[in-house]
Amino acid sequence: MKMKIQEITNNSIMKMSKKCLQMAILLLLSFTSVQAQDKKAKDLLNQVTAKIKSYNNISIDFKYSLNNAKENINQDSKGNVIMKGNQYVLNFMGVTKIFDGQKTYTIVPEDEEVTISKVNEKDDNAITPSKMLTFFNSGYKYNMDIVQNVKGRKIQYIKLVPTSGKDQRKEILLGIDVQTKHIYNLIETGKNGTKTTLTVNSFKTNQPLSKNQFTFVASKYPKYYINKLD
């Protein structure tokens, strides 16, 4: 029974980690292929894209919240992610995920286990930076939304609405700092009332990175079980 409960817990962490990674990458990399529905929104997204492309690497600390009043769910977590090109390191809910451009290494200290898997580009459920680059390429209508003043920062929201009735998301709100052209937050609302919010607490660029920043070093985990899926 203990192993069953642990398995359920680990699966929940993996699902949240995967969801958070998708949102984190979406915040930073998804703007290059947006099709214009609103000229002002397009112009603003283009400015964000140009800013993002000018950086060699990006490091963010974030807060992730999941809320559903009907189900009485209210969860908050913090994490951080470092990205350079199509490589990344994500730390979230005690789990570390490293993508070196070819394989993903999921490190779970609680279980002393490392899962290694190759990225299948044909897998619709695979979360990769390249897929995030084309996330908004089709299937969404979007336009400028409200403007908010957040601690002296002018945040302009862009609303995206899925065009497919099968999509379980009702809408996505993308908050952009008008002055810096950096993303402030992303709010995703589901048709079931669930709202997930990723808020950027710290946004750093062009940081000095270790030579092995995106390399899995097995010697660091001598007692871990290595689970190779491929």
Phi, psi (deg, nearest 5) at residue 130: -65, -35
State the pLDDT at residue 43. Answer: 84
5-34 pLDDT per residue, tens: 444 445 555 556 666 666 665 655 444 344
pLDDT of 137 over the 50 cut: no
| Residue 113 within a domain | no
| Residue 196 within a domain | yes
State the pLDDT at residue 41. Answer: 84
| Residue 57 within a domain | yes
State the pLDDT at residue 121. Answer: 53
| Residue 226 within a domain | no
Alpha carbon 175 to its chain's center: 14
Average pLDDT over residues 53-82: 89
- Confidence at 68, pLDDT banded by 50, 70, 90: confident
| Residue 41 within a domain | no
| Residue 10 within a domain | no
- Confidence at 217, pLDDT banded by 50, 70, 90: very high
Phi, psi (deg, nearest 5) at residue 109: -55, -35
74-127 pLDDT per residue, tens: 899 999 989 888 888 999 889 999 999 899 999 999 999 999 998 765 554 454
- CB-CB contact of 188 with 23 (8 Å): yes
| Residue 55 within a domain | yes
DSSP-assigned letters across all residues of 76-144: EEEEEEEEETTEEEEEETTEEEEE-SSEEEEEETTTTEEEEEE--TT-TT---HHHHTTTTSSSEEEEE
Model's pTM, two decimal places?
Answer: 0.76
- Across the chain, mean pLDDT equals 80
| Residue 107 within a domain | no
Residues above pLDDT 70, as percent of the chain:
75
C-alpha distances (whole Å) from 34 to each of 45, 180, 224 are 8, 20, 42
Provide the residue range defining the domain that includes 192: 48-83+126-206
Number of structural domains the chain divides into: 1
Average pLDDT over residues 131-144: 61
In this structure, what CATH number is given to the domain that contains residue 162? 2.50.20.10
- CB-CB contact of 58 with 204 (8 Å): yes
- Confidence at 35, pLDDT banded by 50, 70, 90: very low
